[in-house]
Each structure stands twice: as C-alpha cells, then as structure tokens.
C-alpha cells in the first residue's frame, strides 16, 4: 500500500480542521481500508470558549458522514475532558453513552458523535485514524490470529481482544492501552475489528496507517495469501423468475419488501461455487461494521431464507431473550450465494444494495486470504447476535420502519423518457420506489443519475428486446411490483376512409401489441411481488368518448382498455390488480405536437385556444396530475380496487 499524500493537494485544505479533512479523505479513497461510512478519524485541538478560557476539544467523525467526501462540518466537537471521564465509570449503557455525547457536543446542528468517541478520547495522541483494513482483518481472522498479529508488529501496536464497539471497548482500552504501550507503539489492533494509528500530525498518523497495513500485506504475500481469486466460473443463463422467487421469499421472511441485485461476475460465481461454501460463508462478518447475514443456496426451490444451521440454532436459542429486550427480529439474509445467480444482495433501498455488494466483495477477499493462512475464523455467533440486536442498531431499525410507502419495491414505466411516463417515474421515485424506465429514446439511460433508477432503451414492439430489458431490470432490482403501461402514439387526424394500413398497423402495434408483450413479460414477476402486483394503464378519454378523425388511436386505446379488463379478471387470483386512467388533453407530452393540436381543434370546429380549455372545469391537465393518480393507484388507497377506469380530464361532457 502506498501513501497518497501530496503536498500540493494538502495545501488546498486550510483552517484548523484542514489537515484532518485531507487525510480522512485519503483513507476514504482506498476501499480496502474503509467502505460506505466505515472507519473513523479524530483530532484534538485547543480552542477558546465563550469566556475566553482555553479548553481541549475532540473533533471526531460524525455519524452519517463518509470519510471519502467528509467536510469540516462532518466532525462533531465534544468536550474532551468530560468524555475521558466517562471511560472511568464502572458501567454505562450505550443509549446513555449516546445521550452524554450528544449533550456535550459543542456545536448546535453538529452530527451525532461516533460510538467510538470515548475510545478516540482516551488515546493520548492528537490525531487518531481507524480503519477496517482488509489485510489486517485477513490475518486477525485466521488461526492464531492474535499470535500472527504479534509476529507482524511486535510492540509497534497494542493488541486488543474483540469487544463490541461502545462503552465496554473504550473502558477496556482506557485500562489496558497505557499499561501495554511502549516507546515504539504507533497503533492498536482490535482483533476482528480493525486497526488504529496515531501521531502528532495528520500526515504522521496517516502514513503510520499505511505502514501498518503494508506490513500485513507483506506478511500475506510472503505466505502466498495476498493475490487470490476464486476459481474461474462461467456464467449460466439468467432466469429472471428464479431471482424474483428468491426476492419474494426473502421479503416474506423480513416482513417487508426488499430489493435484490444479482451479480454473476466471475469472482462472485467462483465464490458461490467454492467447494466449502457452506462453511466459509457462515462464519460471520469480517468486522462488526460489515455485519451481513449470508445463506449458501446450492439450488432454488428449497428453504432459501433459513440461516445456516449453526446461526439458526443460536438465533432460536436467543429469540426469547431478544423479544424480552423488545428487539425487532428480522431473520432475512442480506446476501445469498447461488451457483447460478452468483452473489445476490438484498436491501430496502438501491443504496443499500450497493453497500451490501461492496461490503461482501471485500469480505470474500478477507475470507479467501484467511483460508490461505489455514482457515477462516470470524466472530462467534454470540457476538454476531449481539451486534445485530444491539440497542443502537434497533434504534436504526425503528427509524427505518418509517420508510417511504414504496420502499423496497420496483416499478417499471414504459414511455418514461417524456410526458406522462417521465412524470410517473418522478412520482414513484418520490414515494421511495426503485424505477426501471423503458423507452425507445436512448436518452432514457441518462435522464436520472441516481442508484434507484435504471433507464433502458428498448423497442417495446420487439418481444426479444423486452425480454432482455426485463432480465436487466430483475438483475438490477430483483423483480417487478408495479407496472405503468404508458407508451403510445397518436397518429395524425384522418377520417376513417383515409386511414392507411401502415397507420392502422402502427397504432395497433404500439398502443396494443407493445403493451401485451410487456404484460406477458411481467406477469410472472407481478405474481411474485411481495405486496401484490399492480398495473396502471394510461388509457384515454377516447375510450369512453372517441373523437372524429382519431379512428386508429381511439380503436387502439379501446382495445388496450379491453385487454386490461380481461387481465384484471384473469390475474385477480394472482393478487394482481389492474386499473386504468383516462386522461384528456394533456398538452405537455410528446404526443401533442403543434400539428396534432391544430388538427384536433379543427376536427371539433374550435380554435386551438378553445380546444386547450375544453372541459367542465376550464382547467389544464398536466402530466404530473396523471402521474400522481397513477402512483396513488399503486398505493394502499386502491388496495381493494381492480378493473377501475378513472378519468383525469377536467370533466368532459361526452364522458359525463
């Protein structure tokens, strides 16, 4: 591992906290050190209070901040002397500790101080860095890990046995660190947890971290346990229904919908097919910051959501105790390993999926390196259980219980690049859904750059293209809970006697045929939706009240309406509800070109301006108006409604 320090770069970080921010970001850049908010850094600084008195303030990374992008505002200033006194208490519950840290934070609006704040406070060094370095964890979690760590570092580090982060760990270190440190000590290793470095300056502390990690890397390399990879594995044919079944079962176990992501990259497939996968995947996390429940799945169709036997037995033994603590039991795994699907990550949000996948990718590397040293040995079940049902983790789960209405659910929207389809995507994203946007316009891929959106360019009249798009959608998010059938065309106004075969066929192909193809591709997925499948059809006022000159459009939309009604009858037994919206004169869509608008106004003997407000309320109907109703139709208000047809037209005399 090489130092990333640059004098030119460092000079750009001014102010008292500048060096702390800079080296924190350097640590955050290296994913083999910290991932997704992991790791911790701090600095102790002398400051004047409001009375002009000098006091030492500990600035420690705040909860919710990521080292790679941290700003000065991401550090919580706490009263150092008071925090150090906490370490001398005979006992302190973690909720009490959090309260004391919050009430002795010196800046209103500062983030919550890390649960490791007391530990940073008791270390007698100005700068302190803490990472979960893969190399150190690989050695620590191997046979005789404590001895190996001692062989690598000697008295350069103080070795601390595993204790869960919080008050107990800080109190233990407050007693033991001063006794064990020597003049050569530059760091501390917490077994099965991570490594600390410290120094008088930001660069010194950072480069000591690099040195300590490099020593572990060299130790592994000398034993041919550093550059490792699972055996090469060729991908199999992806079956989206298998992935959707797995997601459905795991969601059932969790008690709420979860997204899932399948990754059949060679490293994941190779690990999933490891001959000893049942043992090495059930050994626990590489570090408490990476708690991820796993389940090896040699084949689908079995009890895919059960824990590995040892963990399950421990869970069952302790479930009563957990209930007494009023903990929130969630027995669903967050990672599945399947010989065909590879690594399958589960999460309530798309961001969670990315975090789980990244964490487990590094966990695989740690496991394989530890195996190369003899055998992967992680935390005992009791420690894993304590972490998952820790008071502070339960508080997070309770907050997560107030999730958006569509959290963990997937919506597919056709014609999503503009107009009503684009507005539907926005409405569903606002409600917490992960959205797959389909459109023939290539711009669909980059309309939103966010983890909960996947845009796929697709010719919806091509069954093969639709099937490939749905494969990609299910690989990315796990299934389909909601389907918005919006794609359509509005041919130019013509009397029936002038309608050409090409116009007629085109209208039927897009407005009916494409929707049939998408319904067929999604049926098996909607049937497996954890909360029941939902389909919303964007119809037209022309279904109940066709207009002159719109024969091809009116007939195709009427055919789509009948298709939806039949689907509602056939698919009700599968728990799928299908409802239709009939908008009219939604002029902020791609269908309403100036040419179409003029021709439709002429067909009714009106001026363009008269035609624009031709409804009982004399109001404009926007894409968002239609989209908001479409999203609500997928929600709980319409849970007992199917085959409904609702107008969004400002009131049309011919419909009324």
Which positions are catalytic? 553
Residue corresponding to tokens 């293209």 = 465
CA distances from 20 to 73, 77, 476, 542 (A): 12, 13, 37, 65
For helices 463-477 and 240-254, the axis angle rounded to 10 degrees is 30
- What is the enclosing helix (H) or strand (E) of 247? helix 240-254
Question: Is the torsion defined by CA of 214, 219, 222, 227 positive or negative?
Answer: negative
Structural contact between residues 3 and 207, judged by C-beta atoms closer than 8 angstroms: yes
- Contact at 8 Å (CB) between 295 and 336? yes
User: Do the beta carbons of residue 485 and residue 519 sit within 8 Å?
Assistant: yes
CB 32 within 8 A of CB 286: no
Helix (H, G, I), strand (E, B), or coil: what is residue 363? helix
> Which residues make Cβ contacts (< 8 Å) with residue 55, sequence separation at least 6?
46, 47, 48, 49, 79, 80, 81
Gap between the Cα atoms of 3 and 411, Å rounded:
45
Phi/psi region, residue 433 (left: phi>0; alpha: psi -120 to 50; beta: rest), is: beta
* C-beta separation of 54 from 63 below 8 A: no
d(CA 420, CA 491): 18
Contact 60, 117 (CB under 8 A): yes
Q: How far apart are CA 196 and CA 41, in angstroms?
A: 9
Question: How far is 354 from 334, CA to CA, in rounded Å?
Answer: 12
By three-state DSSP, how is residue 11 classified?
A: coil
The beta strand positions in 460-594, using DSSP E, are 482-485, 534-538, 577-583
Q: In what order do the strands lie in the sheet with 194-199?
A: 75-79, 54-61, 40-48, 127-131, 194-199, 187-190, 157-160
Contact 199, 186 (CB under 8 A): yes
Residues 206, 176: contact at Cβ < 8 Å? no
Q: Where are the alpha helices (DSSP H) in 339-490?
A: 350-372, 381-388, 391-400, 419-430, 463-477
């Amino acid at each position: 591992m090489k130092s990333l320090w640059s004098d030119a770069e460092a000079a750009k970080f001014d102010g008292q906290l500048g060096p702390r921010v800079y080296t924190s970001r350097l640590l955050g850049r290296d994913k083999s050190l910290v991932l997704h908010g992991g790791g911790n850094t701090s600095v102790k600084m002398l400051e004047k209070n409001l009375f002009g008195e000098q006091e030492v303030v500990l600035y420690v990374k705040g909860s919710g901040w990521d080292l790679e992008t941290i700003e000065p505002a991401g550090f919580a200033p706490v009263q150092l002397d008071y925090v150090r006194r906490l370490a001398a208490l005979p006992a302190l519950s973690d909720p009490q500790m959090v309260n004391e840290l919050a009430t002795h934070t010196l800046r209103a609006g500062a983030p919550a101080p890390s649960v490791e704040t007391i530990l940073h406070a008791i270390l007698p060094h100005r700068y302190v860095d803490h990472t979960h370095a893969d190399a150190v964890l690989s050695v620590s979690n191997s046979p005789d890990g404590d001895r190996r760590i001692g062989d690598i570092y000697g008295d350069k580090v103080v070795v601390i046995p595993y204790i869960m982060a919080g008050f107990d760990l800080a109190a233990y270190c407050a007693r033991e660190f001063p006794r064990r440190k020597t003049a050569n000590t530059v760091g501390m290793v917490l077994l099965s947890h991570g490594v600390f470095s410290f120094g008088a300056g930001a660069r010194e502390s950072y480069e000591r971290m690099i040195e300590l990690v490099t020593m572990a890397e060299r130790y592994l390399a000398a034993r041919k346990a550093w550059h490792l990879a699972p055996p090469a594995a060729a991908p199999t044919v992806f079956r989206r229904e298998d992935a959707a079944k797995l997601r459905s079962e795991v969601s059932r176990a969790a008690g709420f919908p979860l997204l899932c992501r399948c990754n059949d990259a060679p490293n994941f497939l190779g690990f999933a097919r490891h001959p000893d996968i049942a043992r090495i995947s059930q050994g626990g996390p590489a570090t408490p910051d990476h708690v991820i429940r796993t389940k090896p799945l040699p084949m689908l169709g079995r009890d895919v959501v059960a824990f590995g036997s040892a963990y399950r037995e421990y869970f069952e033994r302790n479930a009563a105790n957990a209930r007494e603590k009023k903990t929130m039991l969630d027995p669903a795994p967050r990672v599945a390993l399947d010989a065909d699907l590879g690594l399958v990550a589960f999460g309530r949000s798309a961001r969670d999926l990315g975090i789980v996948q990244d964490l487990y990718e590094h966990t695989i590397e740690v496991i394989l390196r530890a195996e190369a040293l003899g055998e992967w040995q992680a935390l005992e079940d009791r420690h894993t259980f304590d972490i998952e049902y820790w008071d502070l983790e339960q508080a997070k789960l309770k907050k997560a219980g107030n999730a958006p209405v569509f959290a963990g659910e997937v919506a597919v929207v056709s014609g999503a690049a503009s107009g009503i389809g684009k507005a539907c995507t926005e409405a569903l994203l606002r409600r917490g859904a992960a959205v797959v946007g389909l459109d023939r316009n290539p711009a669909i891929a980059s309309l939103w750059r966010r983890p909960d959106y996947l845009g796929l360019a697709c010719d919806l009249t091509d069954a093969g293209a639709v099937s490939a798009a749905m494969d990609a959608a299910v690989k990315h998010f796990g299934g389909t809970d909601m389907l918005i059938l919006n794609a359509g065309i509005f041919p130019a106004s013509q009397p029936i006697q002038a309608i050409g075969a090409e116009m007629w066929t085109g209208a039927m192909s897009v407005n009916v045929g494409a929707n049939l193809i998408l319904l067929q591709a999604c049926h098996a997925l909607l049937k497996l939706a954890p909360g029941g499948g939902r389909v919303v059809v964007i119809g037209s006022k022309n279904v109940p009240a066709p207009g002159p000159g719109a024969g091809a459009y009116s007939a195709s939309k009427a055919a789509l309406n009948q298709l939806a009604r039949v689907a509602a009858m056939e698919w009700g037994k599968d728990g799928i509800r299908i409802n239709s919206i009939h908008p009219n004169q939604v002029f902020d869509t791609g269908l309403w070109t100036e040419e179409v608008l003029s021709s439709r106004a002429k067909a009714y003997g009106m001026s363009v301006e008269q035609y624009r407000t031709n409804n009982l309320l004399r109001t404009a109907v926007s894409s968002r108006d239609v989209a908001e109703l479409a999203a609500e139709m997928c929600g709980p208000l319409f849970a007992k409604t199917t085959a409904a047809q609702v107008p969004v037209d400002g009131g049309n005399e011919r419909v009324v």
